[in-house]
A and B are shown apart, each in its own frame.
Chain A
Amino acid sequence: MAETLIRVQNLRKIYGDKTVLKDISLDILEGDTVVLIGPSGTGKSTLLRCMNLLTKPDGGSIWFDGEEITAPGVNEDRVRTHIGMVFQDFLLFNHLSALDNVAIGLTKVLGMDKEAATEKALRELDYVGLEEHADKYPGQLSGGQKQRVAIARALAMDPRVMLFDEPTSALDPELIGEVLATMERLSNEGMTMVCVTHEMGFAREVADKIVFMEGGVVVEEGPPQQMFTAAQIPRTREFLGKITELYGDHE
């Protein structure tokens, strides 16, 4: 049955005198697409970055595939080869072509030889629909194309789970669709995904579970059906109502 791929237990993170994550406990089941929503600054991105250890939590623990990755002595770099991340500002490697952006993890981290890596990289680029742009550089690509290359780069590592940190927030409205389509396809093919996003249409149609966070804690979580129409906690209803009003239904 569906295994718990990531388990977050009582996570705490403090920046200066601000407690961004107070006490977060969350389970991500394998194959699920989980969407994190909540007001800005409530630690959603921070939580995501804790999951792949880019940010070190100050308390609590995180378990990935049965292993406690927040324990001392864990090789973080190795863990990160199994967790893919896509950033709001794409963060493509500026000095490399699209192809090399996707291939560099394969050659320099996984030790693949050049031909095999190039072949795989082209396949990933094809998956996101950008094979013909393989030799272009980030400066020559549109925002939507850049983000899709970023997705290909993360997918190339064959991760167990993909983390998306507001992947469409920096994009012009007309470019959002292509990225969401790629994400939806990934989700339908069974990839475990954790997404921080404001795209309510995506959340409603694609998510298996929606987690509403505020004030550093999980306020409520549940399947989209329940969360959007019959949320238990008033604050959840209030937030979701406002958000749907504001962002509408993107397709």
Chain B
Amino acid sequence: MSELVELFARFAGQLWTGTVLTVQITAVGLLLGFLIGLPTALIRVYGGPWVRWIAVLYTELFRGTPVLVQLFIVYFGLPDLGITLSRLAAAYIAMGLNSGAYQAEYFRGAIQSIGSGQMRAARAIGMSRLKAIRYIILPQALRLVIPAWSNEPVALMKTSAVAFLIAVPDLMGQGKIIAARTYDPITSYLAVAIIYIALVALLMLGLQWLEQRLRIPGTEVEVQRV
């Protein structure tokens, strides 16, 4: 117990920088995932057969394979094609692609549960498909998706920990360094675990608060947790 406190005190700086990097990777991954996932969902619901097929391939592949494999392909594989990335960049991209696939499923569920009636009504007053999606479907879908979507930030934060395996000095990465320095892996990783629990708890509180602020009463639908 006392070793734990000692460790926290001694390595506070490193743990802090690791935490910051973890939060960074999560945030960037989440944003990238949003920018990839939302269009993917739209393509899957409204796209023509060819594009839709690509969207399905993407979501199935990235949800059906381990994120660690995805990370390795991005970091070790892309240089093959001439794209060399820094470790951090590789982490950002891998997390973004991974999160995008899961987010796409959340958005798809929300869009589909809105029902074709809304689209019909929008077209009936002369809106183009694009306009209907932008002004009628999306605003509803984005609110509907919130309860299910709020699983994703927490999941992504936990997923991001694998980045340390390509030597990214995130929270877990720092844990490994500290473990090597103290020869006490259990206490070191325990410290890391405790910080993760705190981060997750904070994140969940924040999401709950957000959920309360953004919900429209009476429009909640149970979206399948993917």
Q: Indicate whether A and B are direct neighbours in the complex (CB within 8 Å).
A: no
Interface residues in chain B, defined as those with a beta carbon under 8 Å from any beta carbon in chain A? none
